[in-house]
Amino acid sequence: MNQSIKSRGMGLAPILSLLLALCLMVTLGTAAAENRDVFPIRTDDVMPMVSLAVVDGKLLITQNNAAYVYIPGAAEPVLMQEQAITIYAPNANAEPPERFDVLLTDNGQLYAFDLSIGRLYKAALEADKVVLGEQVKLDLGALVQESEGYIYMERPEELLMKDGFLYMIVRDYTAGGSPSLERFELATGARSAFKTPHINHMAAYKDGKLLVMLWDQENGYDQQQNRQTPAMLGVFDPATDTVTELGELTDSEGSEGNLGYDSDNDIIYSIRRGKLYRRTPDDMAKDELSAYLPSTYFWGVVAGAIAPFDGGVAVLTGDNLFLRDADPAKLPATTLTVYGNYGDDAHRKAQSLMPEVPIQMRDREYFNSAQELGQALVSGENTIDVYFLDYSYIDVKNLMQKQYAYDLSESQKLMDFTKATYPLLQEASFLDGKLLAVPVDAGLGEMWMLFPDRFKETGLEEPTTFFDLLDIIGRWPGELAENFPDITPLQTESYRNQLFYSGMGLYQNLRARNREELRYDDPLFRKMLTAIDNLDTRDLDQQVNWDDMADQDEFFSRMPLIEQTGGVMLDYFQGMNSGSAKLLMLSADEGQPPAVPVMLRVAAINPRSQNIDQAIRYLENYVASLSDAGKAAMMPDMNDPILNPNFEQEMAQMQATADAYKKALETADAAAKGEMEANIKSLEEFIQEYKKTGEYAVSAEGIQGYRAFMDSGFLSTFDPIQDGMGEMYTLYDRYLEGQIDMDTLIRESDAKLRLMRLENQ
C-alpha cells in the first residue's frame, strides 16, 4: 500500500485522511453487532417463538399467533401481522384462510409454512408485511391427519429450506418417538426419507450438506455417570445419506440445544445450557464459548434458531430473541452460578434486570444432604454463588449453623421482604438475629379434597376428623353402596393400606405441629390403628389389572366422596371451596387442631462467593420479580384480589377459536357437523364460565380460604431420620399383611426411630 501511495505522489495529509477513513470503516463494521434481548421478558403463558429468518438485512420472527420484524438498532421489534386461529374441516367447500407460522428462506426466496394443516407458500416482504403467493404443493402423506371432524398436521420438530428442498425432522410417537429426517422437493412435492438415525437438530451447511446434532434417544443414558450422554456434531450428506462426525458437543447432555452456520466466515454455532459456542476454521473439532444467553428454553423453535446478523449472531429460543457479538474476547469477566433454580419466571425477570452479569444454572447435580451441599459450596470448581433449597428436603438450619449461608441483613430490601412474610417463614429464615435465607415460595403440603355435591346426594355430613371418615367408610357397604353404585368413599385398591398411611400422616403432622418428637407408642396412634383394624373393607377394595383398559375404566367409573391431593399453591384456591370440589382440613381426632404442613422454599448466598454484591443484587431482583400470587402466599397482609394479567388475551384466543370452529362448520360435510356442533357448544360453555372465574388469578375469597389453612399451618422441616425411613416401610408392610400385631409394630418402629436418631447425632 505504501508503495502505491508513493508512486502517486500523495502527501502526508491525504495518507492520514485515508488511514482515518479506513479505521472508521473498520470501527463501524465491528461495532455494528448488538448485545441485547430483543423482546421484553416473557413468561410461560405466552406463545413460544417459532421461527427466525433474515430478509433484506432485517430479522423476521414468528410466534404461533403473530409475526414481527426487527431492524438493526431499533428500540423494539414491530408487529407485522397477527395470525388467525383457523379450524379446517375435511371436504369443506371453502379453502382455509391463508396463514403461516414459520418463515424460511432459500437462495433469496422467502417461504411461509402453515403448521396447522401443512401448507407451504412462496412469500415476499413488502412494506414490512409478509405477503403470501402461490402454494407449493407437498406430498405430506400421513403427516396431515383427520381427527374428530378436523384436519391437522403433526407438528414437525424442525424445518429447513435448502437448495430447492424442504427438510423436516419428525417424530413418530407411536413408534418410540425417535426422530427421523425427511425432505420434500419443491419442484415436484415428492417426499423422501433418509435412513441415517438420531438426527435431532439441523442447520444449513456448505457444499450442499447439513450440520446435524446426533443423539441416540434409546441408548442415551449413562448409568455410571447418572446422566444423559453427550450429543455429537456431524455433517450430513443428503446425496449419500451419511454423516461425518465432528466430535462431541462440549458440555452437552442429551439433545438439548440448536445449531447454526455463518457461511461468510465458515463458523459453526451451537447453543445449549445458556451458552453459545462456536467452531472456527482454525479448529473445527473444538467448541469455543462465545456468548451467554439467559435462556435454556428451546421448545417450540421450528426454524432458523441461530443466524449470522449485522456483524454478530441472532439466536432464537422459545422465549426470546437474543443478539450477541459472539466474540470470546468480549465475554463478561463476572458470572453468577445458581443451584436449585431451573429458570422460573422470577429468575428470568431478575436476570433481565442485570443483563451485564450472565447467570449460569448448576442444574445437573442434586445434593442429597446438607453435608454434600456444604462440600460443593466450599469447592473451588464451578463455585455456587446462590442456592435455592426446599426446607423439608434438606437440613437448611444445619447449613446456617455451619456458616454456609451469608448474612443478608445488610440488604434492607431483603430484610423488608422477609419481615413482611408469615412468622413461621421468618423463623425459618433467621438464625441468631441474622437473615441467612430469604423465603421465595410457600404452599400447603398434602391435603384432602372433598366433593360437596356427592355428600349432598348421599345425605352424609362432611367429615371433620379421621374418625368421621372411618365412620362413613364403615357404613358404606351395608347402608349406602346399593343406592349409590357410581360413588365410593375413596378411590383405592386397598382401603386398609390407604387408611393406614393416611392416618399415619395425620398423626405425624399433629406431632410436628406440636413440636413433639415422633413416636408411635401413643394413645391416639393406637386408637387410630384399632379403628382401622375393626373396619371390614373387603367389599370396597377394587383389584385392578392396570394392563386392561376395561378394568381401569371400571375402577375410575365410581367417583370418590373424598380424596387426597398433592401440594397446593395459593392460585389453587381460585374457584375452590365454592364449586364442585373444596379443600378440607381433617383433624386426627375430635379436640385436636388441624395440622396443615406448609412447604417452604428459600434462597441463600454462599459466603465464599467471589461475587457477593452481584449475588445480593440478584436475590433482591428475584424477590421483587415474584408474581403477586407468589408474594401473597407468603405475606399475610396481601389480601386484595389478584388480577389475571393474561385474561383479555386468553378470552380473545378462546373466542377466536370458537369463531374459527363456527366458520369451519359453515362449509363442513353433513357427517362432520354433529361432532363439530358439540365441540362448539362445549367451548362456548367453557368461555362463559371462564368469564366468571378467569378475571382474577386469585379472588379475595380464594385468598381468605388460603389464609384459613395457613392459620393452622406448621413448617414442614427436614428430619434426619427421613433418610432411614425406607427400613420402616418393611415393618409397615409386615403389619398390613398380618405378619405382626399392633404392639410389635409400635415397639419395633419406636426402636428403629431411636436408633436412627443416635446415628444422626
Give 721 or 103, the one with higher predicted confidence.
Answer: 103
- Across the range 382-401, mean pLDDT stands at 92
Residue 257, phi-psi category: left (phi > 0), alpha (psi -120 to 50), beta (remainder)? left
**What's the rounded mean pLDDT across residues 204-224?**
93
More confident residue, 288 or 65: 288
pLDDT at 23: 38
Distance, in Å, from the CA atom of 200 to the CA atom of 169, rounded to the nearest integer, reads 7
Residue 746 above 70 pLDDT? yes
Residue 88 reports pLDDT greater than 70:
no
Q: Is the pLDDT of residue 396 over 90?
A: yes
Residues in the chain: 761
Identify the pLDDT of residue 566. 84
pLDDT at residue 542, as a whole number: 85
Q: What is the mean pLDDT of the chain?
A: 88
pTM reported for the whole predicted model: 0.83
Q: Other CB atoms closer than 10 Å to residue 19's CB: what's the count?
A: 11
CA-CA-CA-CA torsion sign (432, 437, 439, 444): negative
Residues 6+ apart with CB under 8 A from 21: none
Residue 8: pLDDT above 80?
Answer: no
Return the sign of the alpha-carbon dihedral for residues 653, 658, 662, 668. Answer: positive
What is the pLDDT, as a whole number, of residue 676? 79
Expressed in angstroms, the distance from the first to the final Cα of the chain is 80
% of the chain beyond a pLDDT of 90: 61
pLDDT at 40: 76
- CA torsion sign, 196 to 198 to 204 to 207? negative
pLDDT of 110-163, one tens digit each?
999 999 889 999 999 999 899 999 999 999 998 988 776 678 888 899 999 999
* Higher pLDDT, residue 664 or 488: 488
How does pLDDT run across 465-478, given as a tens digit for each residue?
Answer: 999 999 999 999 98
Whether residue 724 is predicted with pLDDT greater than 70 in this model: the reply is no
151 vs 290, residue with greater confidence:
290
pLDDT digits (tens, 9 = 90+) for 553-564: 888 899 999 999
* Per-residue pLDDT at 48: 80
Q: Is the pLDDT of residue 649 over 50?
A: yes
Does the pLDDT of residue 716 top 60, yes or no?
A: yes
SS3 of the chain: helix, strand, coil, percent, to 5: 35, 25, 40
Q: Tell me, what's the pLDDT at 30? A: 40
As a dihedral over the C-alpha atoms of residue 438, residue 443, residue 445, residue 450, rounded to 10 degrees, the angle is 170
Q: What is the pLDDT of residue 468?
A: 97
**Which of the two residues, 147 and 654, has the higher pLDDT score?**
654
Please give the pLDDT value at position 193. Answer: 96
